[in-house]
């Protein structure tokens, strides 16, 4: 047992800190801290900054231009970025498609697509979910029918995050409808400028329009855009989902969020004293801080295992559930702390006027609280995770 | 002991429910919310004609209600339909603070809009934390200060503004919205409707603008806020009823893994817990409404109990309803999005869960 | 809407209060308040006291010697008794068997058994649960085979509360094993002095021995002890269960329990002030008090409906769940409030020595906390109640 | 960073787990609990031989451990088996307060029993609330006062008794149990073992009975209590592991409505939540153990975090495990009954959930 980082790891952390101090502008960090929507330019700029340093693809092997960090280094990097309020790296190309291509793509695909991800030539989005298939992903209906050296794709994808910025989408499509659901799925790369692709924004309850529907109508996709074997897409999809779950615990985000709550609670006065001294508020704050301490340690235990080569098992599901509950509790504390100034609807209000409504820190507490309800729904809902945990402990009981 | 609505209230409830179910669809409501005004004058007039406002006043005032149970009946239905129109501000808050019968007549008729400008940027939920000053100057009163998150301010014909006069006590004043020196900085609210920051910069008004006895406003404000809190609690009850009904409907239709998701026992039991808590909410609203006309310390103990319980259950119901729906519930075009926001935002009005817990403890000692 | 009792009801409450003040000895009330085990004599004495006043069988019609109270009167009586710490009326004869005999028994059975219940000639216990059948009551296995004008009964009953005092037991037995589980059950009255009946105590985790196993080995039961028709016992059993659920919310017990917690918390000093002023403790106390206020009102709503002739539906299940959760939370607060003096094991400790260990109020907080875990398990577990509630709302989904 | 046990600790864990699984059955434990002594001298000696006590002392003291991780390793296993023998009192509390090497040798060898008589009837969880007086009288020290819920007092060869000397500060004294004037009123504890009220009536002892520097005891007590709290937390972890494993086993075997109850999704999800919280507990125990040797304010912040989390999760696990079992779990002869009681009773030792929450907040400010 040793709770300390190695001197090398400490040095790496210092290097990351210095980089962030130098390269992350206060404007951008502030935007992230307040939970405001970033523009495509913001993202592109940050990706380019990281790429210039060789840090854009921490999880990729060096042969593909990645930093080849181990799990502990990745954790240190992610934690520092989160606490510095750096923009999150857009995961679709880097964390999701990249590993799939590296493992299952052919040489031509690797050579063509991987550099473009790093350079920002392509903006990828994810075509997994469908209106009828939420947690039950394998029931997807989007059909791809072979026609010479093309597939003709018809169907609808939804919850496509940042699809409005994307020029490419990787899709799960059904190539064989006559077999068990999981066995007829293929993994296709689709150029969104092809005729028949239409992107429609979905406005969410917080006023944001970060997710989209993608309609595919007789879209012709060259067969060379098939990744791996036809009808084997479910295997690749699952592989991708395990990669999606890097940083699933969100420790850095929660830590930054908790600090933000404390700042609010030190400023807000309630009953003649700072809110942070109100025992009811202090109690809830302390409990979630304790929960976060424990969860961060669980996260390190999993990372430490991963760094020594053990695959994380059911712990990922546990971290997903507890990590999202903690973040959501922190979001809830933030909106409470803000008091009546949580009422103004930030995303519109802030465009209308130059004068901020109420204190700065109150501006986006509500939209963030609302938006982060998604945390326990997407990436495998918390219900699906509980099912996985129970199955692992109890076996498949009938 | 009798927990049935009177015939009149039952009729009002039925009428409102029928009317709102037909007119106040999600699409319609989203249109209202997106509009510049933030409310529908048409719905306002229609509901006034159906007696929504009249039910909030007693017969001496020209209404036909005015008790806690009348308020609860009206606001439960407004909540059930997710109505964003400012009945709380004009009908209840302002209506109860005014003593001008001609204006009350206009309010009941749906011809006047008001706003109550009381809270300030640093007052949070403290009703007694007023820094706005009312200074006598050559037979005039001059108001200076800032009022925070004043709902319905932009639409209001008049604002009722609280301020401290000489000495330490609070008075309030009826001020036309277009009075010189009063600046409104308006914005939409998360749960629909609009509010404004009201900046008072040497707003000069006649002494006759004062309502009631100088410096004696706090007591009346507390009584009014108690009634408004009952209204919010009843509204929350209606909102939760809708959230739960939408979730029940969705559980029956949405299929995952080849079965309606309502067949999953984990969700069934969580639904059962929500239904149990809904009955708790229904009961506490009845208690608070039924004690609105009792002595202030008893009244406020029940009111704080209700607001606390509603804060706790509201969070549960809003979050569980969204979670059990999944992504669809987060889209603006789905009814639950608005309903859930409104439930959560009620926790930011007239004292949150913790504020009322603290007050309940103080009043129980 | 009217939250007030009628003048008649208020007068009745005053009458009950006066009766309790006169007849309930402080010694007995104190024993109940402290949650100590009552002797058979304690129970018999209290039953006789109530019977002398005509108040033992509040729910029975007058023709059988009952008080024929309506739901509101019953509620007032139960609430006052609970708050005065009167012993609970032992329900097996009065609340359970009595109504079944009145509805389904023949004239001879009514004439013979009902007066004996009132007079205390018989002490009844309940033979429903079996080791293999908990929430799934209908899966019971105890067999009764007709042999001339007797049944021969073999099997085992369990969780038989106060069976050690009983001379009679009403049992569900299987008379036809070849049909659907519910259709082969009969309702038998068995004299516990018959050869082959053996009662063995079950010691519980709080050291109490209030529940028992009852072993039935070739027990001969005269056929005239069959209630109603053979194989129709499930109908009578369900009817009995609805009667068992009178006072299911336990408002009186919770109210008395909450007052007891407040007394402890006013005395215990924590950090230099009474525990009741500790904000964390005060917060939990206030929340459960608010929950109880609401639940009591729900209970009155159901009672008021019942008094006007409407049968309570799913509300009973809701009251069962919420009522038990509230009582258990109050029990938890009591044990916390007592601090380190919750550690001594009361039931033995108090017999060993005449000097009390620590303050009086701490003596039984832990055993009561432990014992009342049963509240959410028996009488239809809270899980079964949730299932009923969900089914009612959602229908039978598959 | 490394979360593996060292080879030595792993061996100790394996040995203990194997030994206790074989010997320390429910029947055996219930026999021990029912016995007059309340503990098994045989098990005491056996475990001492296996190194349970030696692991709590460092090499200078003749042990082979003594750090937070050693304590955690031992007490997790003691907890897992629901052991009631007084290792906390003799091995950890008393062992850390003593500086007599000969006595420590005897403790490690399993030949001596001690008790720490510190808390008093009104002190609740406050370590500094000592009213017992130590008065100098003709070169002797005279103790007067009362000590509350002193675990292992009856079996102890010596009691370590805290008292105030002249001035305001606390000292402590090593007193043979049979000293004149000391009266023990013994009783069994809810979670096994025995304790006693200790009445000190002119207990006259030699000045050499004082341990350490006069009036400087509090600091040492705090350090010792921190270690003991880590032990309790680790014990709670072990207890919860057993409670959950028993529940998992039961869910797989008990059938209702024709299916194992573990097939009911509502129970599956509640089991998942317990397993998630169990990992939380495991992590916080590691954190508290790993910070036991740091500065007092850092150490105590982690220790209070751990005790708070364990109080919250402990209640959940104890209650949910019983509930998911049903009635069987409430019977004395079923293992969970003892395990659940022990989990709950840990909340009454060395500060409860709220006490440690308050301390965590104070230490975080």
Residue C155 pairs in a beta bridge with C216
Kindly report, residue by residue over A157-175, the tens digit of the pLDDT.
Answer: 999 999 999 999 999 999 9
| Cβ contact A394–D251 (<8 Å) | yes
Q: Which of A290, A315, A324 to mutate to test the interface with D (most CBs of D within 10 A)?
A: A290
Per-residue pLDDT, averaged over A186-200, amounts to: 97
pLDDT of residue C309: 78
Per-residue pLDDT, averaged over C149-174, amounts to: 97
Superfamily of domain A124-231: Butyryl-CoA Dehydrogenase, subunit A, domain 2 (2.40.110.10)
**How close A358 comes to chain C (CA, Å)?**
30
| Cβ contact D264–B265 (<8 Å) | yes
B303, two tokens = 């009111």
pLDDT in 10s for each residue of chain B, 365 residues: 899 999 999 999 999 999 999 999 999 999 999 999 999 999 999 999 999 999 999 999 999 999 999 999 999 999 999 999 999 999 999 999 998 999 999 999 999 999 999 999 999 999 999 999 999 999 999 999 999 999 999 999 999 999 998 777 899 999 999 999 999 999 999 999 999 999 999 999 999 999 988 888 899 999 999 999 999 999 999 999 999 999 999 999 999 888 999 999 999 999 999 999 999 999 999 999 999 999 999 999 999 999 999 999 999 999 999 999 999 999 999 999 999 999 999 999 999 999 999 999 999 98
**How close D262 comes to chain B (CA, Å)?**
12
**How close D51 comes to chain A (CA, Å)?**
20
pLDDT over 90 for what percent of chain C?
Answer: 82
Give contacts of D246 with chain C, Cβ < 8 Å. Answer: none
Give contacts of C374 with chain D, Cβ < 8 Å. Answer: 327, 330
Q: Which residue of B has its CA nearest to C289?
A: B305
Give contacts of C379 with chain D, Cβ < 8 Å. Answer: none
pLDDT of residue A351: 52
| Cβ contact B286–C385 (<8 Å) | no
Nearest 5°: phi and psi at C27?
Answer: -55, -50
Residue B260 pairs in a beta bridge with B255
State the catalytic residue, choosing from A244, A259, A315, A351: A244
Contact C85, C256 (CB under 8 A): yes
Please give the mean pLDDT across all residues of chain A.
93
Q: Which of D1, D265, D276 sits opposite A3 (nearest CB)?
A: D1
pLDDT of residue A398: 67
Give contacts of A318 with chain D, Cβ < 8 Å. Answer: 275-276, 279
All residues at 6 or more sequence positions from D162 whose CB lies less than 8 Å from its CB, including other chains: D117, D118, D130, D132, D170, D171, D172, D173, D217, D221
| Cβ contact A290–D360 (<8 Å) | yes
Tell me the mean pLDDT per 10 residues along chain D, length 365: 92 97 97 96 97 96 96 98 98 94 96 97 95 94 97 98 87 96 96 97 96 87 97 98 98 91 96 98 98 97 98 98 96 97 98 98 95
Contact B134, B171 (CB under 8 A): yes
Q: Work out the pLDDT band at A244, boundaries 50, 70, 90.
A: low
Catalytic residues of C: 244
| Cβ contact D354–C281 (<8 Å) | yes
Burial of C47 (0-12, 13-18, 19+ CB in 10 A): buried
Q: What does each C-alpha distance from C332 to C33, C361, C365, C371, D325 come to in angstroms?
A: 16, 14, 8, 11, 20
Q: What is the DSSP letter of D94?
A: I
| Cβ contact A315–D305 (<8 Å) | no
CATH topology of domain A249-397: Butyryl-CoA Dehydrogenase, subunit A; domain 3 (1.20.140)
Q: Which of B262, B280, B290 sits opposite C295 (nearest CB)?
A: B280
Residue D149: enclosing H or E segment and its boundaries? Answer: strand D140-151
| Alpha carbons D149 and C362: distance in angstroms, whole number | 13
| Alpha carbons D283 and D317: distance in angstroms, whole number | 16
Q: Which of C132, C204, C367 sits opposite D332 (nearest CB)?
A: C204
Kindly report, residue by residue over A342-380, the tens digit of the pLDDT.
Answer: 999 976 545 545 566 889 899 889 999 999 999 999 988
**How close C22 comes to chain D (CA, Å)?**
37
pLDDT of residue C240: 85
| Alpha carbons D132 and C204: distance in angstroms, whole number | 38
CATH code of domain A7-104: 1.10.540.10
| Cβ contact D265–A394 (<8 Å) | no
pLDDT of residue D1: 85
The 3 state secondary structure assigned to chain B is CECCCCHHHHHHHHHHHHHHHHHCCHHHHHHHHHCCCCCCHHHHHHHHHCCCCHHHCCHHHCCCCCCHHHHHHHHHHHHHCCCCCCHHHHHHHHHHHCCCHHHHHHHHCCCCCEEEECCCCCCCCCCCCCCCEEEEECCEEEEEEEEEEEECCCCCCEEEEEEECCCCCEEEEEEECCCCCEEEEEEEECCCCEEEEEEEEEEEEEHHHEECCCCEHHHHHHHHHHHHHHHHHHHHHHHHHHHHHHHHHHHHHCEECCEEHHHCHHHHHHHHHHHHHHHHHHHHHHHHHHCCCCCHHHHHHHHHHHHHHHHHHHHHHHHHHHHHHCHHHHECCCHHHHHHHHHHHHCCCCCCHHHHHHHHHHHHC
Q: Which of D188, D197, D327 sits opposite C345 (nearest CB)?
A: D188
Q: Which residue of B has its CA nearest to C322?
A: B276
Give contacts of B6 with chain C, Cβ < 8 Å. Answer: 1
Q: Chain B residues with CB-CB distance to D under 8 A?
A: 264-266, 268-269
Asked if residue C12 has pLDDT above 60, the reply is yes
Q: Which of D1, D248, D252 sits opposite A2 (nearest CB)?
A: D1
| Cβ contact A132–B255 (<8 Å) | yes
Q: Which position has the token pair 């009251």?
A: C319
| Cβ contact D269–A383 (<8 Å) | yes
Q: Which residue of C has its CA nearest to A284?
A: C280
* Partner A contacted by C273 (CB < 8 A): no
Helix D353-364 with C279-307: angle, nearest 10 deg: 130
pLDDT of residue A308: 82
C71, two tokens = 């739901």
pLDDT of residue A52: 96
Q: What is the DSSP letter of A165?
A: G
**How close C285 comes to chain D (CA, Å)?**
13
Q: Which of residues 190-219 of C touch D (CB under 8 A)?
A: 202-205, 207
pLDDT of residue C352: 45
Asked casually if ipTM beats, i.e. exceeds, 0.90, the reply is yes
* Partner A contacted by C283 (CB < 8 A): yes
Q: Which position has the token pair 């930054």?
A: A256
Contact C153, C173 (CB under 8 A): yes
Q: Which residue of C has its CA nearest to B8?
A: C1
pLDDT of residue C227: 97
| Cβ contact A291–D6 (<8 Å) | no
* Partner D contacted by A266 (CB < 8 A): no
Residue B142 pairs in a beta bridge with B135, B204
* Partner D contacted by C348 (CB < 8 A): yes
Kindly report, residue by residue over C255-306, the tens digit of the pLDDT.
Answer: 999 999 999 999 999 989 999 999 999 999 999 999 999 999 999 999 988 8
* Partner A contacted by C279 (CB < 8 A): yes
Give contacts of B264 with chain D, Cβ < 8 Å. Answer: 265
pLDDT of residue B212: 84
**How close D199 comes to chain A (CA, Å)?**
38
Helix D353-364 with D296-325: angle, nearest 10 deg: 150
Which sign, positive or negative, has the C-alpha torsion D117, D119, D120, D121? negative
Domains in chain A: boundaries: 7-104, 124-231, 249-397
pLDDT of residue A349: 44
Query: What is the reported pTM?
Result: 0.96
Closest residue by Cα to residue B173 from B181, D18, B165: B165
| Cβ contact C1–B1 (<8 Å) | no
């Amino acid at each position: 047992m040793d709770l300390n980082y190695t001197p090398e790891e400490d040095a790496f952390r210092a290097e990351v800190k210095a980089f962030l101090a130098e390269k992350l502008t206060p404007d951008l960090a502030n935007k992230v801290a307040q939970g405001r929507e970033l523009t495509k330019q913001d993202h592109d700029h940050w990706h380019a900054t990281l790429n210039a340093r060789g840090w854009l693809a921490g999880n990729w092997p060096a042969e593909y231009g990645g930093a080849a960090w181990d799990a502990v280094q990745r954790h240190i990097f992610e934690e520092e970025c989160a606490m510095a309020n750096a923009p999150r790296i857009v995961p679709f190309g880097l964390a999701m498609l990249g590993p799939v291509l590296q493992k299952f793509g052919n040489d031509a695909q690797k050579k063509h697509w991987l550099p473009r991800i790093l350079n920002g030539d392509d903006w990828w989005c994810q075509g997994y979910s469908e209106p009828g298939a939420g947690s039950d992903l394998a029931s997807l209906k989007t059909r791809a029918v072979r026609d010479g050296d093309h597939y003709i794709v018809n169907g609808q994808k939804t919850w496509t995050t940042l699809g409005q910025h994307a020029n490419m989408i990787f899709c799960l499509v059904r190539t064989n409808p006559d077999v068990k659901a999981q066995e007829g799925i293929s993994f296709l790369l689709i150029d969104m400028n092809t005729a028949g692709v239409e992107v429609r924004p979905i406005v969410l309850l917080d006023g944001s329009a970060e997710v989209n529907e993608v309609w595919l109508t007789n879209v012709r996709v060259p067969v060379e855009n098939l990744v791996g074997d036809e009808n084997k897409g479910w295997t690749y999809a699952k592989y991708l989902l395990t990669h999606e779950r890097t940083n699933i615990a969100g420790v850095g985000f929660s830590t930054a969020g908790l600090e933000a709550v404390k700042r609010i609670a030190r400023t807000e006065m309630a009953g003649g004293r700072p809110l942070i001294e109100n025992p009811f508020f202090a109690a809830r704050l302390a409990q979630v801080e304790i929960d976060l301490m424990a969860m961060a340690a669980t996260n390190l235990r999993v990372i430490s295992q991963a760094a020594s080569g053990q695959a994380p098992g059911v712990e990922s599901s546990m971290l997903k559930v507890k990590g999202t509950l903690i973040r959501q509790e922190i979001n809830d504390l933030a909106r409470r702390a803000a008091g009546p100034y949580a009422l103004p609807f930030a995303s519109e209000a802030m465009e209308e006027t130059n004068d901020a409504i109420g204190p700065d820190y109150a501006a986006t507490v509500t939209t963030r609280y609302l938006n982060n309800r998604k945390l326990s729904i997407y990436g495998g809902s918390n219900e699906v995770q509980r099912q996985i945990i129970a199955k692992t402990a109890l076996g498949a009981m009938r | 002991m009798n927990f049935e609505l009177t015939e009149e209230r039952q009729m009002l409830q039925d009428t409102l429910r029928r009317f709102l179910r037909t007119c106040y669809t999600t699409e319609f409501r989203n249109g209202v919310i997106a509009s510049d005004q933030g409310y529908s004058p048409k719905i306002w007039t229609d509901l006034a004609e159906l007696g929504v406002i009249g039910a909030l006043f007693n017969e001496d005032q020209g209404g036909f209600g005015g008790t806690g149970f009348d308020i609860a009946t009206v606001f439960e239905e407004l909540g059930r339909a997710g109505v964003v129109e400012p009945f709380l501000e004009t009908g209840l808050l302002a209506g109860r603070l005014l003593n001008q019968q001609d204006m009350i007549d206009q309010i009941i008729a749906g011809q006047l809009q008001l706003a109550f400008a009381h809270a300030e940027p640093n007052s949070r939920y403290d009703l007694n934390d007023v820094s706005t000053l009312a200074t006598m100057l050559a037979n005039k009163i001059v108001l200076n200060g800032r009022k925070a998150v004043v709902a319905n301010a932009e639409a209001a014909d008049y604002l009722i503004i609280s301020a401290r006069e000489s000495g330490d006590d609070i008075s309030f004043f009826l001020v036309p919205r277009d009075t010189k020196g009063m600046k409104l900085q308006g914005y939409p609210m998360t749960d629909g409707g609009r509010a404004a920051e009201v900046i008072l910069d040497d707003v000069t008004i006649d002494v006759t603008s004062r309502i009631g006895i100088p410096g004696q406003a706090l007591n009346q404000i507390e009584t009014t806020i108690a009634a408004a809190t009952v209204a919010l609690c009843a509204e929350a009850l209606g909102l939760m009823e809708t959230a739960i009904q939408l979730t029940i409907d969705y559980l029956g239709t949405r299929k995952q893994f080849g079965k309606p998701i309502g067949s999953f026992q984990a969700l069934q039991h969580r639904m059962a817990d929500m239904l149990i808590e809904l009955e708790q909410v229904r009961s506490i609203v009845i208690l608070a409404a039924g004690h609105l006309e009792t002595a202030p310390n008893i009244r406020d103990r029940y009111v704080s109990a209700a607001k606390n319980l509603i804060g706790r259950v509201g969070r549960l119901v809003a979050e569980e309803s969204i979670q059990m729906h999944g992504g669809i519930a987060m889209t603006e075009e789905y009814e639950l999005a608005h309903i859930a926001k409104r439930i959560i935002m009620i926790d930011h009005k007239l004292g949150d869960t913790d504020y009322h817990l603290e007050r309940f403890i103080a009043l129980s000692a």
